[in-house]
């Protein structure tokens, strides 16, 4: 199923019937003989490759991480919410394989780019992975190929930066090869929408590119939405994440304000969401996590400044959300003080390294910032997260810690517990019966306790 947004292309016959790059590719897609290459086998690339393989296309996954390549070829999954049975089935069928040999890009009819787009130390966009990947493709680019960028970036990246890199090969876009942008919309761990059922926005650098990209994604995705350009598609993803960032910042700021007034912000939000129109519930927390919301809005604010405009909502939301870990640490210090203790020398257990519940994804997780701030204040900090037996080295942190068991006797050893992630395992009230103090940033412990009993911990919402 294909939808067309307002002002999107209304496809008609393609000129130059014999020579146009799109014709051979469309035939291969229609007959399920196309080979799809997916560069990057992480939280975006692996599930995307699997849905193509599961619909009958051959898929070759590219990654510089030999560990991921070897795991896929053994039929193993290294992402918790992607079952190993899916990977094994795709590999066993012969429709999915992984490689670190980029010369095999020449074998692919469509090449999908799913590489990271981080921020630099000054929150400036870092498109180095996109550019490096584009150069790898350009060295092997051949006639009849479709290239689609899925990595989130600012408007203009596809046609201003990636296109010139590809055309440096000597081939001409629209005549020899095709180029489009289609933003990834992965939400790890989500149950109600999957890679296949989440609508896919597609915009090409020209009409032929849009047509080819739409045809490709229609094979694997239930609904494809065609838009008029790559810039519209790039901006769509940024709007989605700016919307969430600004609204999360709003409830985080309200949390701080209402806390000063002695009002429970979670109760307020629950009451407000009973209105059947004009309100959408967002929930506060210890800070933003994941690859999208903490990073992507700043791609737009950076690009806006280039055009002499200032994205004040984006910058303000970023300021509020970025300071939330410090707010939580302040609440921890205040709560310990109420017990006659200082942060320095106190044993503190942070519950959860993942950025959201029940997943093994710790990208940009505020838990790392919390732990770092508490350690800087002199606390003796451990963490508990069944999804991370050992903390992983990130771009910014290297904790070198191992998870402690989620057991009541272990929790009772600490001066304070800080609930940073709402994993289901932390919703078991029995875990807290011997605890002294719980600082809850996710509002899960009160319900877990189910009411007061003798020996219940002191509970502070943060």
Residues annotated as catalytic (active site), given as ranges: 292
Question: How many residues does this entry show for the chain?
Answer: 462
- 204 - beta bridge partners? 180
| Distance (Å, whole) CA 436 – CA 455 | 9
Give, in degrees to the nearest 5, the angle at Cα 100 between 94 and 106: 75
Beta-carbon count within 10 A of 408 CB: 15
H/E stretch holding 270 reads: helix 265-272
Q: Which residues contact 393 (CB under 8 A, 6 or more apart)?
A: none
| Distance (Å, whole) CA 173 – CA 389 | 47
Owner of token pair 């600004």: 246
DSSP state of 404: P
Q: What letters, b where the CB count within 10 A reaches 16 and e where it falls short, cover 341-364?
A: bebeebebbbbbbbbbbbbbbbbb
Is 293 in contact with 248 (CB distance < 8 Å)?
yes
| Distance (Å, whole) CA 351 – CA 428 | 13
Owner of token pair 């003989």: 33
> SS3 string of 282-321?
CCCCCCCCCCCCCCHHHHHHHHHHHCCCCCHHHHHHHHHH
Q: What is the C-alpha R_g of the chain?
A: 24
For residue 289 the two structure tokens come to 């996590």
Q: Which residues contact 7 (CB under 8 A, 6 or more apart)?
A: 227, 228
Collapsing DSSP to helix, strand or coil, 2 comes out as strand
H/E stretch holding 137 reads: helix 128-140
**Strands 200-204 vs 178-181: parallel, antiparallel or unpaired:** antiparallel
Is 181 in contact with 212 (CB distance < 8 Å)?
no
């Amino acid at each position: 199923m294909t939808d067309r947004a307002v002002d999107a292309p209304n496809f008609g016959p393609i000129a130059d019937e014999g020579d146009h790059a799109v014709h051979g590719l469309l035939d291969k897609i229609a007959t399920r003989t196309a080979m799809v290459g997916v560069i990057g086998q992480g939280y975006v690339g692996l599930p995307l490759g699997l849905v193509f393989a599961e619909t009958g296309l051959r898929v070759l996954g590219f990654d510089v991480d030999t560990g991921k390549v070897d795991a896929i070829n053994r039929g193993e999954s290294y992402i918790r919410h992607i079952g190993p049975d899916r990977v094994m089935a795709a590999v066993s069928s012969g429709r999915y394989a992984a490689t670190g040999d980029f010369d095999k890009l020449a074998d692919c009819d469509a090449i999908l780019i799913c590489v990271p787009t981080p921020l630099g130390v000054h929150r400036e966009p870092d498109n180095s992975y996109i550019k490096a990947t584009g150069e790898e493709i350009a060295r092997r680019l051949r006639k009849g190929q479709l290239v689609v960028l899925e990595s989130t970036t600012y408007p203009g990246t596809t046609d201003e930066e990636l296109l010139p890199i590809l055309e440096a090969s000597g081939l001409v876009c629209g005549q020899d090869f095709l180029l489009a942008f289609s933003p990834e919309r992965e939400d790890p761990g989500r149950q109600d929408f999957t890679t296949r059922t989440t609508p896919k926005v597609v915009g090409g650098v020209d009409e032929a590119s849009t047509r080819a990209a739409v045809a490709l994604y229609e094979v694997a995705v239930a609904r494809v939405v065609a838009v008029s350009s790559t810039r519209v598609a790039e901006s769509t993803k940024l709007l989605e994440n700016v919307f969430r960032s600004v609204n999360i910042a709003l409830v985080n700021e309200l949390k701080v304000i209402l806390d000063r007034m002695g009002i429970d912000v979670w109760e307020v939000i629950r009451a407000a969401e009973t209105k059947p129109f004009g309100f959408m519930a967002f929930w506060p927390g210890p800070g933003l996590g994941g690859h999208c919301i903490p990073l992507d809005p700043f791609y737009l604010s950076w690009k806006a400044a280039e055009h002499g405009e200032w994205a004040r909502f984006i910058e303000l939301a970023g300021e509020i959300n970025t300071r939330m870990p410090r707010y939580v640490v302040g609440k921890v210090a205040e709560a310990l003080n109420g017990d006659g203790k200082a942060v320095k020398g106190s044993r503190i257990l942070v519950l959860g390294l993942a950025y959201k519940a029940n997943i093994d994804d710790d990208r940009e997780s505020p838990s790392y910032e919390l732990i770092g701030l508490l350690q800087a204040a002199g606390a003796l900090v451990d963490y508990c997260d069944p999804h991370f037996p050992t903390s992983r080295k990130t771009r910014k942190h290297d904790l070198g810690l191992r998870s402690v068991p989620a057991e009541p006797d272990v929790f009772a050893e600490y001066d304070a517990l800080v609930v940073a992630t709402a994993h289901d395992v932390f919703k078991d009230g029995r875990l807290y019966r011997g605890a002294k103090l719980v600082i809850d940033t996710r509002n899960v412990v009160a319900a877990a306790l189910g009411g007061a009993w003798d020996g219940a911990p002191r509970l502070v919402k943060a």
